[in-house]
């Protein structure tokens, strides 16, 4: 997401150019910071809040874990390219690192994270493996590029995204009852479909048709959030639309890339919501 569109009342996750997310080991009071796959290391993901300073100008990015504020620290003198660790406690004697994004040229979505301590400027960097430890390196070593993606979104902003996707949808067509929702990845959405067992089900007129498929998927998503002790309900919905004299129901979800997507519960197919060929007349989140 572009830096100038970030909101202080939402929660984000920090992805790098290789699709890895900012994480930290969280088994104890501190843990090494690393970049890894969102779904594989979900329990270690660090969440990002935005602190703005005047006229919407981005000041810093604040991190949290398990609903508590955490901070990043350098494990050693800044001049030695130290590894980074995260903790919810203070660590006197270790440089505390502020996450300050620096825009990456003409790409409004990407930025580097740079720090200046004792007159030395360094940037966040990690290797290019599927996961790798995070450290501070000199600016000449091609700093890792990052982008922010929505994770928690207010109900009103989710409603606004739906209206942007389908400008003609009636205001009373949408039913959402919670103050905030949690985005999920396309991989996660597909896993929910597999867990629901819908791939083994067959369409039956009236008794188990398209709306029943979509309701079962919606219910499985709620169970998944429950078993995962999610702070907020998933941004997963049930949506019905019309195309000529035809009507159809599928599922809707907010992906971590910030896009609304549909999932066809009869097949598991995922596509951009804006490409759905039906005009929505009822949406339940």
Q: What is the pLDDT of residue 33?
A: 96
Question: HEC states along the chain?
Answer: CCHHHCCCCCEEEEEECCCCEEEECCCCCEEEEEEECCCCCHHHECEEEEEECCCCCEEEEEEEECCEEEEEEECCCHHHCCEEEEECCCCCCCCEECECEEEECCEEEEEEEEEEECCEEEEEEECCCCCEEEEEEEHHHCCCCEEEEEEEEEHHHHHHHHHHHCCCCCHHHEECCCCEEECCCHHHHHHHHHHHCHHHCCCECCCECHHHHHHHHHHHHHHHHHHCCCCCCECEEEEEEEECCEEEEEEEEECCCCCEEEEECCCCEEEEHHHCCCEEEEEEC
Q: Is the pLDDT of residue 139 over 90?
A: no
Q: Residue 257: pLDDT band by 50, 70, 90 thresholds? A: confident
Tell which wins on pLDDT, 222 or 65: 222
Q: 73-83 pLDDT, tens per residue?
A: 999 766 678 99
Q: What is the pLDDT of residue 253?
A: 97
Class for the domain spanning 154-284: alpha beta
Q: Is the pLDDT of residue 56 over 60?
A: no
Q: Residue 107: pLDDT band by 50, 70, 90 thresholds? A: low
Q: What is the pLDDT of residue 78?
A: 62
Does domain 3-144 fall under CATH 2.80.10.50? My reply is yes
Cite the residue boundaries of each domain of the chain with CATH code 2.80.10.50: 3-144
Q: Is 200 left (phi over 0), alpha (psi -120 to 50) or beta?
A: alpha
Cite the residue boundaries of each domain of the chain with CATH code 3.30.460.70: 154-284
pTM tops 0.75:
no
Tell which wins on pLDDT, 272 or 8: 272
Q: What is the pLDDT of residue 118?
A: 72
Q: Residue 212: pLDDT band by 50, 70, 90 thresholds? A: very high
Q: Is the pLDDT of residue 237 over 90?
A: yes
Q: What contacts 275, CB < 8 A, 6 or more positions away? A: none
Highest mean pLDDT among 105-109, 144-148, 181-185, 250-254: 250-254
Q: What is the C-alpha to C-alpha distance for residues 278 and 90, in angstroms, rounded to an integer?
A: 53
Q: 148-183 pLDDT, tens per residue?
A: 887 888 888 888 899 999 999 888 888 876 778 989
Q: What is the mean pLDDT of residues 134-159?
A: 88
Mean pLDDT over all residues of the chain?
88
């Amino acid at each position: 997401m572009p830096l100038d569109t970030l909101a202080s009342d939402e929660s984000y996750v920090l992805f790098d150019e290789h699709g890895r997310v900012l994480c930290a080991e969280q088994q104890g009071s501190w843990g090494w910071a690393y970049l890894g796959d969102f779904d594989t290391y979900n329990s270690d993901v660090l969440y990002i809040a935005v602190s703005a300073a005047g006229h919407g100008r981005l000041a810093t990015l604040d991190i949290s874990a398990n609903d508590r504020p955490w901070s990043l620290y350098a494990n050693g003198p800044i001049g030695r390219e130290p590894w980074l660790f995260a903790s919810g406690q203070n660590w006197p004697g270790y440089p505390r690192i502020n996450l300050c994004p620096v825009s990456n040229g003409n790409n409004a979505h990407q930025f580097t994270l740079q720090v200046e301590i004792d007159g030395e400027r360094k940037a966040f960097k990690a290797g290019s493996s599927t996961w790798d430890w995070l450290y501070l390196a000199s600016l000449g070593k091609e700093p890792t590029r990052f982008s922010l993606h929505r994770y928690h979104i207010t109900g009103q902003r989710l409603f606004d995204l739906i209206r942007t996707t389908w400008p003609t949808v009636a205001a009373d067509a949408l039913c959402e009852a919670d103050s905030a929702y949690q985005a999920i990845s396309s991989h996660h959405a597909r896993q929910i479909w597999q867990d629901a067992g819908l791939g083994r089900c067959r369409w039956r007129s009236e008794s188990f048709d398209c709306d029943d498929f979509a309701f079962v998927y919606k219910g499985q998503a709620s169970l998944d959030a429950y078993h995962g002790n999610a702070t907020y309900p998933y941004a997963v919905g049930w949506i019905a639309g019309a195309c000529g004299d035809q009507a159809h129901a599928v599922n809707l979800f907010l992906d971590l890339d910030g896009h609304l997507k549909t999932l066809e519960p009869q097949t598991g197919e995922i596509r951009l919501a804006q490409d759905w060929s039906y005009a929505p007349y009822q949406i339940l989140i």
